[in-house]
Amino acid sequence: MPQIKVNNHSFSNYDSVLLNHIHLNLNVDFKRKELSGKAVLSIENKTACRYLILDIKSLVIDKILLEDSFETAWSLGEEYNHFGQALVIEIGKNTEKVAVYYKTSPSAEALMWLEPEQTFGKKHPFLFTQSQAILARTWVPCMDAPAVRMTYSADITCDPQYLALMSAENNFEKNAEGRYHFEMPQPIPSYLMALAVGDLSFKSLGVNCGVFAEPEMLEKAAYEFSDLSAMISSAEALYGPYAWGRYDVLLLPPSFPFGGMENPRLTFATPTIIAGDKSLVSLIAHELAHSWSGNLVTNKTWNDFWLNEGFTVYFEERIMESIYGKDYADMLSKLSLDEMQKSLESLMLTAPGDTKLKLNLNARNPDDGVTDIAYVKGCMFLRYLESQVGRKAWDAFLNQYFNHFKWKTVDTETFIAYLNKELLSKYPKKQFNVMEWIYEIGVPANLPKIQSKYLLKVENMASEYNQTRKLKSIDTAQFTTHHWLHLLRNLNADSIQSTMSELDTTFGFSKSTNAEIQCDWYVLAIKNNYEVAYPYLEKYLSTVGRRKFLEPLYFNLSKTEEGLIRAKKWYEKYKNSYHAVSRNTIEELLYNDPISNK
């Protein structure tokens, strides 16, 4: 057995063996909660290596064939917490095809198998995957590092009542045999492989876009996402042609742990953005923007994650500005900047190193890097550059960047060299503190300012209310979701205990059906021990699986002894509706014992 090392969160020997294509042939078994079949890997053994090393985690390997004909020897490396283990396969100098016969385990973290009651329709089970960052290896044996791009294809069979979808081309029509064929002809990193199976229907929203959802949610989703086609046009006008053919959105059941996931051709999205008034659709702009930043130009390692997310937040804001105008976009940017400042303050106390754009996550779970730093500090750095060179030059540079690095992977250092050569060197008299932005903790003093005239008004109302606690300070006539959020975030949590009930009866916060507003209100309720809200909070925790909401709620509950008891009780009761990545985060909060280390 060769020596096995972890390189950028992967055991695989991608420097020695090229992985060009994976063909999956899998059956979806809802009863056993199992995918089984084979993955056929097309490789080029460019260094005449004796072994192909792949990443796997909790997969059961049955046998491995070379060139579709003879079995070869294989062995497993030691399990190493969240990385899983190496699958070491003996190959020949000229081996081109390696077929791994396997099945997944019920604990596979990428797979979420939902019971009918966890769906909107309540009648059928549902399966979805979440591969980013290093969970693809729990359902496909692969080189699970973003530096490796490959094409893929798949034959999926499932109960013919259901539709199977992947982040790939297919004709998405149900068929009587429950057989679906998929092709992803463009090379993608493993974290963008995705599959969903369930009772799904489709509605077109334009020539190359549409939405999939359970039938119960389809019309609502179609209404909420009706600007999709305009978003695609505005994105293309900004940074060049959309490279992936169709762009569809799959609206998932509420257990989905993220807001959205940019699976190519098919963004996966949480239903918590269906507010009924299109107020939360910037999330779709975000996932769409990843079609350029992330999917076309990919971060080489998870330490360079800000290249994916910072660019995407910047791009998302530009799409929002072009469709809804500058004032609206400023309001959204200001809200995320405020949230980032809060994360920054707490990270500076607990993990200051994690406030750098370039991270060092090598021995850690890449999930630790998913903070507002990569997203919002990353975006603010790009806004800073824009402010220095002007929008025209900056946009020309970004267009050139996406075009130059398309279908490639980029690390921070490559980006810096390219930025200096192609843009900053043209301004010899100017000083740019690029290195400080990227390699130092905190935020530089030249952090751009964002002002929102709408939110300024809300701040004034909040501060008057904080002083007087008189409802007439708050005029909600023009309020959108964002005004409400800003109001809740600017109320002084320590001084409103006696007026929680009055706020609630006047504005109906506890009974709100807007997941963003609910989350912020329930945080205030917990801080003030406002028990009237608890039944609503419990209901919310029993259905919503989005980590961004669960985390602050469980965190604030866990701050008091009584709250912690309650939090543990609720968590144990509802954890089956939470995906592994959410469970991981909450168990760390409640038990200091994340499941990934067990």
Active site residues per annotation: 287, 375
Answer whether 189's CB lies under 8 Å from 143's CB. no
Using the rule CB under 6 A, give the single segment among 174-182, 256-264, 467-475, 589-597 that binds ligand BES.
256-264
**Which CB atom, from 149 or from 286, has the smaller least distance to ligand BES?**
286
Using the rule CB under 6 A, give the single segment among 14-22, 37-45, 284-292, 569-577 that binds ligand BES.
284-292
Site for ligand BES, residues 172 to 201, rule: CB under 6 A? none
**Chosen residue from 24, 111, 251, 261 binding ligand BES by CB under 6 A:** 261
Q: Which of 29, 24, 28, 36 is nearest to 61 (CA)?
A: 36
Lookup: tokens for 91: 């190959």
Helix/strand number for the chain, H first, E second: 18, 21
Q: How far is the CB of 316 from ligand BES (least distance, A)?
A: 7
Chosen from Zn ion, ligand BES, none, partner binding at 548 (C-beta under 5 to 8 Å by type):
ligand BES
Using the rule CB under 6 A, give the single segment among 27-35, 253-261, 498-506, 519-527 that binds ligand BES.
253-261
**Cα–Cα distance list, 378 to 340, 423, 460, 491, 566 (Å):** 11, 18, 29, 28, 37
**Chosen residue from 37, 77, 189, 260 binding ligand BES by CB under 6 A:** 260
**Cα–Cα distance list, 483 to 247, 326, 486, 489 (Å):** 31, 16, 5, 10
Q: How far is the CB of 56 from Zn ion (least distance, A)?
A: 26
**Contact between 290 and ligand BES (CB under 6 A)?**
yes
Three-class SS state of 283:
helix
Site for ligand BES, residues 536 to 555, rule: CB under 6 A? 548
**Chosen residue from 55, 262, 354, 587 binding ligand BES by CB under 6 A:** 262
Q: Which residues contact 330 (CB under 8 A, 6 or more apart)?
A: 450, 451, 452, 453
**Cα–Cα distance list, 111 to 81, 103, 106 (Å):** 18, 12, 8
Q: How far is the CB of 322 from Zn ion (least distance, A)?
A: 19
Residue 36: phi and psi, rounded to 5, are: -145, 150
Lookup: tokens for 157: 């069979």
**Contact between 370 and ligand BES (CB under 6 A)?**
yes
**Chosen residue from 9, 278, 286, 356 binding ligand BES by CB under 6 A:** 286
Q: Which spans of this chain sit near Zn ion (rule: CB under 5 A)?
A: 309, 312
How far is 126 from 292, CA to CA, in rounded Å? 30
**Which CB atom, from 248 or from 309, has the smaller least distance to ligand BES?**
309
**Which CB atom, from 259 or from 264, has the smaller least distance to ligand BES?**
259
Q: How far is the CB of 290 from ligand BES (least distance, A)?
A: 5
| E strands, 231-340, in order | 247-251, 260-261, 266-269, 297-299
Q: How far is the CB of 529 from ligand BES (least distance, A)?
A: 28
Alpha helix segments (H runs only) across 20-175: none
3-state secondary structure 477-523: CCCCHHHHHHHHHHCCCCCCHHHHHHHHHHHCCCCCCCHHHHHHHHH
Amino acid (one-letter) located at 248: D
Q: How far is the CB of 546 from ligand BES (least distance, A)?
A: 7
Residue 180, beta-bridge partner list:
156
**Contact between 259 and ligand BES (CB under 6 A)?**
yes
Chosen from ligand BES, Zn ion, none, partner binding at 278 (C-beta under 5 to 8 Å by type):
none
Chosen from Zn ion, ligand BES, none, partner binding at 256 (C-beta under 5 to 8 Å by type):
none
Q: How far is the CB of 258 from ligand BES (least distance, A)?
A: 3
Instruction: Write down the residue that tokens 């200001």 correspond to.
Output: 334
Lookup: tokens for 14: 């991608």
Sign (positive or negative) of CA dihedral 106, 129, 149, 259: negative
**Which CB atom, from 309 or from 504, has the smaller least distance to ligand BES?**
309
**Contact between 283 and ligand BES (CB under 6 A)?**
yes
**Contact between 491 and ligand BES (CB under 6 A)?**
no
Lookup: tokens for 554: 């469980």
**Which CB atom, from 148 or from 461, has the smaller least distance to ligand BES?**
148
How far is 281 from 320, CA to CA, in rounded Å? 9
Using the rule CB under 6 A, give the single segment among 34-42, 257-265, 470-478, 512-520 that binds ligand BES.
257-265
Site for ligand BES, residues 82 to 141, rule: CB under 6 A? 132-133
**Contact between 281 and ligand BES (CB under 6 A)?**
no
Binding residues vs ligand BES (CB under 6 A)? 132-133, 258-262, 283, 286-287, 290, 309, 370, 375, 548
